[in-house]
Each structure stands twice: as structure tokens, then as C-alpha cells.
């Protein structure tokens, strides 16, 4: 990386940690354009369940990589990396301050560490794996994965359909286990013009975040989340095999509308799935020794985050 690389702040954190409030507080003080680092916000028609910034919040500062694809489409970490690098360059050229905000750590990793040479998704392979799973169950496919890629299988739950499918897809397309490909050197830019600095909103007491998650999920339900999912189902071209419908909350609401669960069970499963997402996000963050940590449970968390972003961005 060039010694003259421009520092760019990346406000990262688990769900309900206060990222939006901190980003908008910083944007109120500087000419900021926000680039979303969130794999759920890319989808149109998915507003409530993704906690998407509302119209007023998005009017406070330009936002990018929100509402850019249809839920029937896919968006990869490679696409995010290319789009984010392009957008940062355009924002800087306009004389504004880029601020990356989100909680999809895979996107951040792709942006800052480059990409492995993994095969892209293949609809035919995925359809075949979905058919096998419908017949035999995902634990059977997990066992199949363990036979060809024990290292990857060991870190996946037997019902983690999305990751099991991806790992098997990679093996079927490349003939190599995903663990071996991930261990290979990454493709990176030799002279990256930017130095991305993570500012991490993290809780000292995870129970506080858990309470926020439950309150947020209940608020989503009160504001029409089930109706949002009902409308998506009514389109007729979406199903639970698609990345959009695998977003936290959407799968649980879909099962409820299918009659597979009751309302209270759906609510509890949605809250639990969100807490599990939070746990994974914190695990990613804590593997970044270079991050600037801000206590997100503090009463002045927003002010602390703004100060850290300002220092990082040198504005």
C-alpha cells in the first residue's frame, strides 16, 4: 500500500449498535457521502426487515449501494469491492468525505484484503444441490461436504444451508475444497490509493445489545414487517433458496406465512437469528487488531464514534 494512501473511515458494528445514528451525526458536520457495507440493504422492496435508513435519513447525506438490485438477483462480495472502490474515488473527486458504514464483514474483508479466486455462483449447480437437500436433508449434504472438505464442514452447522451449498458448489465447480482456495494468496491491488480504517461499535455488555435487538425486531413487526414479506411472497418469483430471502428475519417470517410456525415462535426465532448474526459480526470484528473500538453501550457512544471517524478521516 502506498504511503500516501488516503485514509477512509469504515464504521462497522453488529446489528443495533448505533451505526446509522453515528454516521448521520458525522454527516451533519462534514460533506459526507455514505457507502453501505450491508448485504441486505442492496435489495429493493426490503425496507422494514433490513432496518434500511428511511427517506429522511437518506436525505441528510447521499447514500450509495442501497436499493440497487431486485430481490431475485444476487450481489457478490466481488461486486461490492468493485463498486465501493469506484464510489470512494468518485466521492473524493467531488471533494466530499467517503464514509463506509455497515455490518457485512465479508464485504469489508473483500475490500481490504482482496479476493480469493473462487468460482462465481452457478444456478444449475445450486438447483441440483437444492433438489438433493429437499430429498435427503441438509445434514446429509453436510456429511457429503465433510467427505471432500472436512475443514470447512467442521466449522458449519449441519443445517447451515447457505454455507453448505456454497462450499459444495465451489468444490463441484473447481474440483478443490473451499478451505484450500481460501488459504491461497489473495488478489490485491499493488498500489491501493486508500487505507481503510475500521471504527468498530462494540458492546462491553452483550446483554444490552440483545435487548436492543429484541426491541428492534418487535418494532419491525409493529411497522408491517409481515406484510412486507407477504408482498414479496406474492410476487411468485422468490423462494427461500435465494440470498435475499435468507436475510435474517425474512426466512422466519416466510416460514410463519407458510404455516410452519406460530407468530410467537416466529418472533422468537427471528430474535434468536439476529442475535446469532450479532455474535458472528463481533467475532469478525475482534479478529481485526487494527480497529478503533467505540463502546456502543455508552451514553455518549454517538459522540465517541464521531470523534473516532473524524480522527480517522483527518477532517
Which parts are annotated binding residues for substrate?
15-20
**CB contact at 8 A, 255 and 273:** no
Can you say which residues are annotated as belonging to the binding site for ATP?
Answer: 13-20
Cell of 277: 448474526
The CA distances from residue 192 to 111, 112, 155, in Å, are 11, 10, 32
**CB contact at 8 A, 233 and 257:** yes
- Determine how many CB atoms are found less than 10 A away from the CB of residue 69: 14
C-alpha dihedral sign at 78, 82, 83, 88: positive
Helix, strand or coil, per DSSP, at residue 141:
helix
- According to DSSP, the β-strands at 32-37 and 194-202 are unpaired
Rounded CA separation 18/284 (Å): 18
Can you say which residues are annotated as belonging to the binding site?
Answer: 13-20
Rounded CA separation 13/203 (Å): 9
Amino acid at each position: 500500500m502506498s504511503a500516501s494512501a488516503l485514509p477512509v473511515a469504515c464504521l462497522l458494528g453488529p446489528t443495533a449498535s448505533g451505526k446509522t445514528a453515528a454516521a448521520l451525526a458525522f454527516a451533519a458536520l462534514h460533506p459526507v457521502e455514505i457507502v453501505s457495507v450491508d448485504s441486505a440493504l442492496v435489495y429493493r422492496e426490503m425496507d422494514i426487515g433490513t432496518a434500511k435508513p428511511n427517506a429522511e435519513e437518506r436525505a441528510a447525506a447521499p447514500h450509495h449501494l442501497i436499493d440497487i438490485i431486485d430481490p431475485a438477483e444476487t450481489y457478490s462480495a466481488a461486486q461490492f469491492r468493485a463498486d465501493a472502490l469506484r464510489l470512494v474515488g468518485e466521492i473524493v473527486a467531488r471533494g466530499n468525505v467517503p464514509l463506509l458504514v455497515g455490518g457485512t464483514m465479508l464485504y469489508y474483508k473483500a475490500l481490504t484484503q482482496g479476493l480469493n479466486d473462487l468460482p462465481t455462483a452457478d444456478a444449475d449447480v445450486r438447483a441440483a444441490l437444492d433438489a438433493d437437500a429437499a430429498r435427503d436433508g441438509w445434514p446429509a449434504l453436510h456429511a457429503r461436504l465433510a467427505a471432500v472438505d472436512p475443514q470447512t464442514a467442521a466449522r458449519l452447522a449441519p443445517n447451515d444451508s447457505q454455507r453448505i451449498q456454497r462450499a459444495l458448489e465451489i468444490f463441484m465447480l473447481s474440483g478443490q475444497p473451499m478451505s484450500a482456495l481460501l488459504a491461497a494468496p489473495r488478489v490485491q491491488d499493488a498500489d491501493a490509493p486508500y487505507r481503510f480504517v475500521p471504527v468498530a461499535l462494540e458492546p462491553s455488555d452483550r446483554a444490552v445489545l440483545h435487548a436492543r435487538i429484541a426491541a428492534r425486531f418487535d418494532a419491525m413487526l409493529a411497522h408491517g414487517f409481515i406484510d412486507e414479506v407477504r408482498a414479496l411472497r406474492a410476487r411468485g418469483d422468490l423462494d427461500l433458496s435465494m440470498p435475499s430471502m435468507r436475510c435474517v428475519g425474512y426466512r422466519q417470517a416466510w416460514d410463519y406465512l407458510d404455516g410452519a410456525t406460530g407468530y410467537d415462535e416466529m418472533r422468537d426465532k427471528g430474535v434468536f437469528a439476529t442475535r446469532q448474526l450479532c455474535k458472528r459480526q463481533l467475532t469478525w470484528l475482534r479478529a481485526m487488531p487494527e480497529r478503533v473500538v467505540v463502546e456502543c453501550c455508552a451514553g455518549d457512544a454517538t459522540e465517541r464514534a464521531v470523534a473516532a471517524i473524524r480522527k480517522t478521516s483527518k477532517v
